[in-house]
C-alpha cells in the first residue's frame, strides 16, 4: 500500500510579455507613471554602471567584475519592494538592488577595485557586503532573520543568489532553518541558466528551482525575471507574508545571463552567439520602455534626458573613484580578526603604512 506524502504546485507569474504588452491584470503600482519611470531609470542606471565597470576593468583600473547585463529587473524589482528596516544580503550580480537601497556608485567602484572602503556604505548600514563565495549568504540570511525575531524588530532578511547557489549545501541548510523556525526571510534565485559554464539542466534534475523550497517546508514560486513589474509584485507578496508572521519563501526569477560570467570568463567557449541573440529579445529595459511609451506617454525627449543624466552621473562617480588615494598596504589586515594572531600581526607591522 502506498500513500501520497505530499504534493505541490509551482506557479509562474508575469505582467508584461517580451514586447512590453500586458499579460492579465497588472498590480496597482503599474498604473502610476512615476513609479514605473523610477523603476526604468534605476535599470538604466544599473546598466550604465555595468558598462563603465567593464570598461574600467578592461583598461586595468578595476578588478575582476561580474556583470548584471540582462538581469537588471531582478535587483531593481526586489529592492524596490523592500523597506528601510529590511536587510539585503546580495551575491555579486545585484548592483541594481544595492544602488536602489542607497549604496553609491562610487562605493561600488571602490569595492570592485579591491578597496574595502567600498563596503562601508553611507546609506544602508545594515545591508551585507557583496558575497563572492557561492551560497554562503543564504545561511547568513537565516541568521539575520533569527536575530530580527529575537530582537523584536520588524524587518525581513532578503538573500539573493544565482541558480548555481541552489546546488550548494549552504542553500539547503538555510531553507531548512527558515522552514523549521518560520523565519522572516525571502530567498531570491536569479536563474540566468548558467553557473559559470554549467547549464541549468546539468546542475539538477528538478523541474524548477522554486520547488526546492518544498523540502524546507517553504512555498516556492517562479516569476519572469525580465519583467520588473512582476518581480516587484512577487517580492511584495513574499515580504508581506514574512511580515505577517507566516515565514519565508523562495522566488525563482527566470532570466538569462547576456554577458560573460565575469570579466575573467569567455562565454563564447561554451555557448553559441545565436543562443544569446534569442534572449536579447527578452531583455528587461526595452520591455518596460515599450510599456511606458504605450501607457504612460514616455517619449524620445524624456529617454534622451535620462540617458544624459545617468551617463554624466556614472562618469562623475568613476572620476571620483579614480581620484581616491589607494588605501595603505596595512589595510588588507584590518578586517581579518578582532585581534590579529602574532604571525599575521607581524606581517601587518612589516607592511607598515606605505
Q: Which residues are catalytic?
A: 257, 261, 270
**Cβ atoms within 10 Å, residue 140:** 18
Helix axes 33-58, 300-323, angle to 10 degrees: 40
**Strands 185-191 and 220-224: what pairing?**
unpaired
d(CA 304, CA 143): 44
Do 47 and 69 form a contact (C-beta atoms < 8 A)? yes
* Residue whose C-alpha cell reads 531582478 in the numeric block: 74
In the sheet that holds 220-224, the strands lie side by side as 12-13, 220-224, 249-254, 185-191, 157-162, 87-89
* Of 103, 87, 5, residue with least CA distance to 46: 103
Amino acid at each position: 500500500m502506498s500513500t501520497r506524502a505530499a504534493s505541490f504546485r509551482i506557479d509562474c507569474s508575469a505582467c508584461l510579455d517580451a514586447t512590453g504588452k500586458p499579460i492579465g491584470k497588472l498590480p496597482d503600482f503599474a498604473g502610476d507613471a512615476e513609479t514605473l519611470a523610477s523603476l526604468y531609470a534605476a535599470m538604466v542606471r544599473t546598466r550604465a554602471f555595468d558598462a563603465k565597470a567593464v570598461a574600467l576593468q578592461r583598461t586595468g583600473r578595476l578588478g575582476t567584475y561580474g556583470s548584471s547585463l540582462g538581469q537588471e529587473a531582478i535587483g531593481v524589482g526586489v529592492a524596490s519592494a523592500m523597506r528601510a528596516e529590511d536587510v539585503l544580503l546580495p551575491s555579486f550580480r545585484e548592483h541594481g538592488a544595492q544602488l536602489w537601497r542607497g549604496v553609491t556608485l562610487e562605493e561600488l567602484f571602490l569595492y570592485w577595485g579591491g578597496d574595502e572602503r567600498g563596503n562601508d556604505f553611507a546609506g544602508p548600514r545594515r545591508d551585507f557586503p557583496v558575497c563572492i563565495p557561492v551560497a554562503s549568504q543564504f545561511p547568513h540570511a537565516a541568521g539575520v532573520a533569527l536575530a530580527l525575531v529575537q530582537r523584536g524588530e520588524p524587518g525581513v532578511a532578503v538573500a539573493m543568489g544565482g541558480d548555481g547557489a541552489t546546488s550548494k549545501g549552504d542553500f539547503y541548510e538555510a531553507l531548512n532553518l527558515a522552514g523549521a523556525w518560520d523565519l522572516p526571510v525571502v530567498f531570491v534565485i536569479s536563474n540566468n541558466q548558467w553557473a559559470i559554464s554549467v547549464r541549468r539542466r546539468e546542475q539538477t534534475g528538478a523541474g524548477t528551482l522554486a520547488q526546492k523550497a518544498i523540502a524546507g517546508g517553504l512555498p516556492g514560486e517562479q516569476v519572469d525575471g525580465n519583467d520588473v513589474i512582476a518581480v516587484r509584485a512577487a517580492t511584495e507578496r513574499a515580504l508581506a507574508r514574512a511580515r505577517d508572521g507566516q515565514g519565508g519563501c523562495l522566488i525563482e526569477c527566470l532570466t538569462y545571463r547576456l554577458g560573460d560570467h565575469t570579466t575573467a570568463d569567455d562565454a563564447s567557449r561554451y555557448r553559441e552567439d545565436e543562443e544569446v541573440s534569442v534572449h536579447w529579445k527578452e531583455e528587461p529595459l526595452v520591455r518596460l520602455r515599450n510599456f511606458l511609451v504605450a501607457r504612460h506617454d514616455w517619449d524620445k525627449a524624456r529617454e534622451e534626458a535620462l540617458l544624459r543624466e545617468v551617463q554624466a552621473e556614472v562618469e562623475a562617480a568613476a572620476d571620483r573613484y579614480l581620484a581616491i588615494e589607494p588605501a595603505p598596504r596595512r589595510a588588507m589586515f584590518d578586517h581579518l580578526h578582532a585581534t590579529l594572531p602574532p604571525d599575521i600581526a607581524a606581517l601587518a607591522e612589516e607592511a607598515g603604512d606605505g
